[in-house]
Structure 1
Amino acid sequence: MPDPQRQAIVEELLPEATRQLIRTADALDDEEYAAPSGLPGWSRGHVLAHLALNAEGLAGALRGILEGTRTTMYASPEARDGDIEELAAAGPTEIRTRLLDATTDLADTLDALPDDQWDTTFDRTPGGRTNAAGDVPRMRLQEVEIHHADLASDYSYAGWTPAFATLLLDGMQPRDETADAFQVRASDLGRTWAFGDGGPTVTGTGAALGWWLTGRGTGEGLTSDSGALPQIGAW
């Protein structure tokens, strides 16, 4: 079962983050869907297609729990990638419709999930990473906030709330054991997070630190007491 306090924060933030994303998707001109996003090789249409399919996959996995049939989010990594390409190519009208329908379906499915099913798990792909149903709101919030900023439109990580930045930093753990040890200090949150033992301290706003730790940007607005930002490895 997720931490009740953290879950309450996530459930408060997710609806507004979703509304902001839908507003951005609706405000983009059709031509802007084909423009590059902040992710290499992906247009804005690709990012929004991914967000639509992510919501569909999460809703489908939760529906499987409700129906007593274990279901993966995606049939395979290759199928996921192919579906993103297909939807991105379908054009802005189809992407907008799928995104709105999927986010609505996910919200309804989350509301329908009984409390005693929050610990039930599902796989991202067959044999792939396993997640608990209770993790879905947090997972979706991160997808929405990070990829909304990836659109390289009017919204950026600077728009992240302190509450979301805290949740993001709380959930960050290094995946690469060869990465440098370091700490991050969020100047606006009054907190420090350690990644390994010792090492330099990187200081900045919580949002700027979270953006950097996801592998984005070049550390804009951050300073390190060693003079240079550490190598963070893969996250």
Structure 2
Amino acid sequence: MNETSPIDTVLAAVARHTAAVDDAAADLDLTQPSLCTGWTRAHIIAHLGHNAEGLLRLVRAACDDSGETMYASVADRDADIDRSAQLPPDELRAFARDQGAALVAALPRLAAADPAREVERVPGGPTFQAGNLPGMRLRELIYHHVDLDAGFGFADVEPALLRRLWEQEIGMVDTSDPAALGTALTRLARGMDPR
């Protein structure tokens, strides 16, 4: 009997949800608001493209010892998203689709890397473990697919995956921080039911 490894399960889900976001974006009016305050749907698509681009750099850092960080700085990341959100819609879709596809192709390389290897979001930190990169991408895809406000909600996520996201969400909440608690409650209010 062939058993699927945990990383293979996550990689398959990343590929599936990448295709789902690409399909959703293909027919959307990207100028409309998203569920992320201050962002249009174009900002969401731009963010997903640059997120894939940044995670590709971290795959190279983990596998090739390239020394790259995900982003040069948080300010540069934000500027890239704002700039890309102004691209013509077909150009923006192509950018996000191409970066997403490149990441789907590159993520399996992590199977040969040390999963505990630390890679940096920006120079000087914070850091992530290489083994967490596929799950990080999956989380971005699902949450931001919901944020497109195009008919996809948490109820459309596979039950086992939804439970995993729910457990991660609860694990990350700092109940002493009102802002973090508020963010978690907002996500719950948007329909992330753990059942």
Structure 2, unpaired ranges of 5+: none
| Structure with larger RCO (C-alpha < 8 A, sep 6+) | 2
Residues 153, 122 of structure 1: alpha-carbon distance in 2 compared, 3 angstrom cutoff: same
CA 1:45–1:5 in 2, change beyond 3 Å: closer, same or farther? same
Alignment of 1:42-81 (within 5 A): 42-81=39-78
Alignment partners' CA distance in 1, 2:113 and 2:134: 16
TM-score between both structures, scaled by the size of structure 2: 0.85
Instruction: Using the TM superposition, name which of 75-84 and 12-21 deviates more.
Output: 12-21
Larger strand proportion, structure 1 or 2? 1
Amino acid at match of 1:171: Q
1 or 2, which has the higher helix percentage? Answer: 2
Q: 1:143 matched to which residue of 2? A: 140
Q: What amino acid maps onto 1:37 in structure 2?
A: S
* Unaligned runs of at least 5 residues, structure 1: 181-194, 196-211, 223-235
Out of 117, 120, 128, the position equivalent to 2:117 is: 120
Contact 2:72 2:122 in 1 (8 A): yes
Residues 124/179 of structure 1: CA separation in 2 closer, same or farther (3 Å cut): closer
RMSD over equivalenced CA pairs, Å: 2.4
Q: Equivalent residue of 1:131, what SS?
A: strand
Q: 1:174 to 1:164 in 2, by over 3 A?
A: same
Give distance in 1, aligned partners of 2:23 and 2:55. 21
Q: Between Structure 1 and Structure 2, whose CA radius of gyration is higher?
A: 1
Aligned to 1:215: 186
Deviation at 1:217, TM superposition (A): 6.1
Q: Distance in 2 between matches of 1:64 and 1:178?
A: 34
Q: Alignment partner of 2:69: what SS?
A: coil
- Confirm or deny: 8 A CA contact 1:87 1:94 kept in the other structure: no
Does the 8 Å CA contact 2:31/2:42 hold for their aligned counterparts? Answer: yes
CA 118–178 in structure 1, closer or farther in 2 if over 3 Å, else same: closer
Runs of 4+ in 1 over 4 A off after TM superposition: 219-222
The Cα offsets for residues 128-174 of structure 1, whole Å up to 9 and x where unpaired, read as 22111111110000000010000001212221111211111222224
SS of residue in 2 equivalent to 1:122: strand
Call closer, same or farther: CA 1:117–1:85 in 2, change over 3 Å: same
Q: Which residue of 1 aligns with 2:14?
A: 14
Q: Which one of 143, 152, 156 corresponds to residue 153 of structure 2? A: 156
Distance (whole Å) between structure 1 residues aligned to residue 37 and residue 23 of structure 2: 24
Pair 1:100 & 2:97 matched: yes
Cα distance change, pair 66–37 in 1 and its aligned pair in 2 (3 A): same
Query: How far off its partner does 1:221 sit?
Result: 9.0
Deviations 1:176-206 (A, max 9, x none): 34259xxxxxxxxxxxxxx9xxxxxxxxxxx
Q: 2:165 aligns with which of 164, 168, 172?
A: 168
Aligned residue among 29, 37, 41 for 2:38? 41
> SS of the counterpart of 2:119?
strand
Structure 1 length as normaliser, TM-score?
A: 0.71
Structure 2 Cα separation of the partners of residues 72 and 116 of structure 1: 16
Distance in 1, Cα, partners of 2:122 & 2:63: 19
The alignment of Structure 1 onto Structure 2 pairs a total of residues equal to 186
